[in-house]
A and B are shown apart, each in its own frame.
Chain A
Amino acid sequence: MTAIRTENLVKTFGTTRALDGFDLTVETGQVAGFLGPNGAGKSTTIRVLLGMLRADSGTATVLGMDPFRDAVAVHRRLAYVAGDVSLWPNLTGGEIVDLLTRVHSGQARRDARRADLLERFELDPTKKARTYSKGNRQKVALVAALCTDAELYLFDEPTSGLDPLMEAVFTDEVRALREAGRTVLLSSHILAEVEKLCDTVTIIRSGRAVETGTLADLRHLTRSSVTASTVADPARLAAMPGVHDLVAEDSRLRFDVDDARIGAVLAALTEAGVSHLTVTPPSLEELFMRHYGDETVEAGV
């Protein structure tokens, strides 16, 4: 079963191409991470999936339905936390939680779950939203969403503004959702969060999915950093396919190598004789930096 599928999604705002042929698939029961820098199109994607925006072309299916045409039916089965939570300043946190949870069950949830979440997120429901800090506003939206018994949870940068303790509470809650077989799409630019929580990751850049797969899949596509003390000819190594950014200082070499080519490169090193070798596995951090940090993306992966 597929909870979310988009194919070749395009959305433009004036001359800006916010989504430029974006593909995303999230299977039911998965926790999918959605990584990208600011302005990459994460919120636009989520707002298309919510039916707030209508894509210019391409298709989007959420829970088997068209999110624009069947918005209400889709919304009855999902919960959503916006990236930039804006609350009614003169309503209290408790009132807002009730407002945002009322529709699913016909009336607001007043059960132990609500009380438990308010307590765990240390939220005072009697305070007017105006007096809440950014983190507290975020918590109101999170409590409302987590109170909701939904099939699909859409979180747009859910932990922005939360302190580490509250992040841990959120992490626990998402794990509980996964164990209960719910589907979660979580956008973030915090890699540790995605690494901790997600089964699959899609990286979006300039409105396109530049990589997608499980964490293991992605690591397979990435490069490792190698330092070696060797008498091997640096020029010959640098010419090998898959070797990048080679720097030679006397007999010490530093270079990056595509993980797919690492065997051949190591063989060449061994053949030439190597006295010291470190191979550092790629962190998601590096993977991320490579997609947004430099020109290597243009060169293609």
Chain B
Amino acid sequence: MTATTVTDHRHAAPRGGRLRDGTSVREPWAGTGHLLRLALRRDRIRILIWFVAIVGTVAATVPALEVAYPDAAARQARAALMTNPSAVMMTGPAFGLDDYTLGAMVANELSLSLFVTVAVMSVLLTVRHTRSEEESGRTELLRGLPVGHYAPATAALVHVAAVNAAIGAGTALALLGSGLAAASSLAMGLATAVTGLVFGAVASVMTQVTAHARAATGMAMVVLAAAFLARGVGDVIDAQGSWLSWLSPLAWAQQTRLFVDLRWWPLGLSLALTVVLLAVSVRLARHRDLGAGLRPERGGHAIATRGLLSGPGLAVRLLRGTIIGWAIGLVLMGITFGSLANSLEDMLAEVPDLGAWIGMGSGDLIDAFAAAMLSYLVFGVGAFAVGAVLRLKTEEEAGRGEAVLATGASRLGWVASWFGVVVAAAVVMLVLSGLGLGLGVQAATGSADATARLVGAALVYLPAVLVMAGLALALFGLVPAFAGLAWVLVAWVVFVGWVGALLDLPEVLVGLSPVDRTPTVPVEAADGGPLLVLTAIAAVLAVAGLLGIRRRDIRSN
């Protein structure tokens, strides 16, 4: 919200800005209003999609919860499940479990997915309007016009703030419309907006550090993942939030105790952090030139290595950073998730009847927990695979695909070797996810075979990941302009996995998620039937994509 204090240069008197050597520049914000309108114009469809997806989900969820949990008894039964560490990891600090009202349910079980979604959106939008523009040279084009030094960055921030404000307002209205308490509805809307803003500010710092948009996005996402884990582990340590939770901006929004015992002040932390991060960002910006990062670019090899020149060498090289980043992230997440398994045993010790009540012993409970965690890690592998396949589209549109093809590489060879690299990397990531999770569980419970069993279990998800990657390849090969729609499947998989059970979605819709179709190993046996079907679907999609690329035009910008 702080960024909105600067709106339009026409209303702001020309103020002095200062560059790194202390030089003051005149009219540093000239043209901000124009740039803001340009950003809004470029993003009008994008904003609409985010708005409808987020606010629409909120508006649809509350009535759905009323249907699924019609009375206090039903909600109370649900509340009993909420102290399970796998539930805590994906929800929030458990306020009001003893009187689990509809509002408490919304706050506990819906708010985290909402905050994470706006955080992701804010990171993507911030990088899109700052570093991506700079990297492409468009910022320079605009700065050649009478546009101030700070105008592009300010316009981007106001833009992100405005989108968050709109989504926050929409959320508040949707909650109010569902008949929930007014003050907490407003607070949840505000919490949504400021949480988005915090991560927009995080992204803005990252765009100063690195000269590459993709790296800036990745680094901001790492911060988001760390914030997610900190509050998850923190909330497992203490159900209403421990010291660890308080390190996470996601927790601040949840610590408002929405619909239970509302307090506003944690949102002040979010606003304060936003201000601090923006100040850091401005400070860093003064120490660099347009288009540059903080570190000067280093030189490299004058000749290509044999590896780079081999068939899949280029794909490996181009995807290397992405693969390493995801691999490290998944291992760390797996270990963190897995190490929460010991609190399951604490839970059983505290409530001895629980095991009998849900019909599981300690070992089964750990398996169920591990199965749930594993399916969440698979979201990451799926997102990696789709993103990596869609890089083919970037390569094509930049004209680099054409350059490779003109050297005598076949279209089929180019795409198939790329896809092969993605599949191989996905296999490695599944293994690493299972390995991390298994090591965590093993360390927490002393279960000797956990690692081996979970690595095997993780690989059962390969067909589901292949379906996601295959869809991306099919869209790329057949209708490249719409290849980005492959993300819809990833979003659906995450949505179904995260809130599908809560919302009691129709079986048909849930079944569209290939991850949901996969047996929940290690609780269930790895039934070959669904896996074969998924593999067949993936194969059909991949072949369709490969045939498509052979027939269609190679596009260039």
Contact = CB atoms under 8 A, between A and B. Distances in A.
B303 interface: yes
Given A50-B402, A52-B402, A104 B303 contact: no
Contact of A71 (B298, B303, B410, B557): B410
Contacts of A82: 399, 402-403, 556
A102 B407 contact: yes
Contacts of A104: 407-408
Interface in A79-130: 79-80, 82, 84-92, 94-95, 98-104, 107-108, 110, 125-128, 130
A90 B309 CA distance: 15
A100 B399 CA distance: 13
Contacts of A54: 551-553
A71 B309 contact: no
Nearest to B300: A92
Given A71-B410, A75-B406, A126 B553 contact: no
B406 A86 contact: no
A94 B553 contact: no
Contact of A72 (B211, B410, B552): B410
B556 A125 contact: no
A94 B301 contact: yes
Interface in B275-312: 297-304, 308-309
B400 A127 contact: no
B410 A126 contact: no
A103 B299 contact: no
A126 B406 CA distance: 24
Contacts of B554: 47, 52-53
B407 A88 contact: no
A95 B318 CA distance: 13
A80 B301 contact: no
A130 B297 CA distance: 9
Contacts of B314: 88, 99
Tell which of B308, B404, B553, B557 has the most Cβ of chain A within 10 Å.
B553
B131 interface: no
A133 to B, nearest CB: 11
Contacts of A108: 303-304, 309
A76 B300 contact: no
A38 interface: no
Interface string B382-410: 00000000000000001110111111111
A150 to B, nearest CB: 10
A270 interface: no
Nearest to B305: A95
A103 B309 CA distance: 9
Nearest to B291: A130
Contacts of A88: 314, 318, 400
A72 B408 contact: yes
Contacts of A102: 304, 309, 407
A53 B406 contact: no
Nearest to A130: B297
B406 A95 contact: no
A100 B302 contact: no
A87 B402 CA distance: 11
A300 to B, nearest CB: 33
A95 B303 contact: yes
B297 A131 contact: yes
B399 A84 contact: yes
A53 B553 contact: yes
Contact of A99 (B211, B298, B309): B309
Contact of A95 (B308, B398, B410, B557): B308
A104 B407 CA distance: 7
B46 interface: no
Contact of B300 (A72, A84, A91): A91
A142 to B, nearest CB: 13
A110 B303 CA distance: 8
Contacts of A127: 297, 299-300
B317 interface: yes
Nearest to A89: B212
Interface string B131-161: 0000000000000000000000000000000
Contacts of B556: 47, 52, 82, 84
A128 B404 CA distance: 18
A92 B299 contact: yes
Contacts of B408: 72, 75-76, 103-104
A186 to B, nearest CB: 16
A47 to B, nearest CB: 7
A95 B301 contact: yes
A136 B402 CA distance: 19
B400 A128 contact: no
Contact of A94 (B211, B304, B317): B304
A104 B408 CA distance: 7
Given A84-B557, A86-B398, A95-B308, A128 B300 contact: yes
A126 B317 CA distance: 17
A72 B409 CA distance: 6
A48 B304 CA distance: 30
Contacts of B400: 86-88
Contact of A75 (B399, B407, B552): B407
B411 interface: yes
Contacts of A95: 300-301, 303-304, 308
B137 to A, nearest CB: 10
Contacts of B318: 88, 90
A94 B411 CA distance: 24
Nearest to B313: A99
A125 B302 contact: yes
A99 B298 CA distance: 20
A80 B300 contact: no
Nearest to A106: B309
Contacts of B299: 92, 126-128
A94 B299 CA distance: 11
Interface of A: 47, 50, 52-54, 71-72, 75-76, 78-80, 82, 84-92, 94-95, 98-104, 107-108, 110, 125-128, 130-131, 141
Given A104-B407, A125-B303, 15 more contacts: A54-B552, A71-B405, A75-B405, A75-B406, A82-B402, A85-B399, A95-B300, A95-B308, A102-B407, A125-B302, A126-B299, A127-B300, A128-B297, A128-B299, A130-B297
Interface of B: 211-212, 297-304, 308-309, 314, 317-318, 398-400, 402-411, 551-554, 556-557
18 contacts: A52-B554, A53-B554, A72-B408, A75-B406, A82-B556, A84-B556, A86-B399, A86-B403, A88-B314, A94-B303, A95-B304, A98-B304, A99-B308, A99-B407, A103-B407, A103-B409, A110-B303, A125-B303
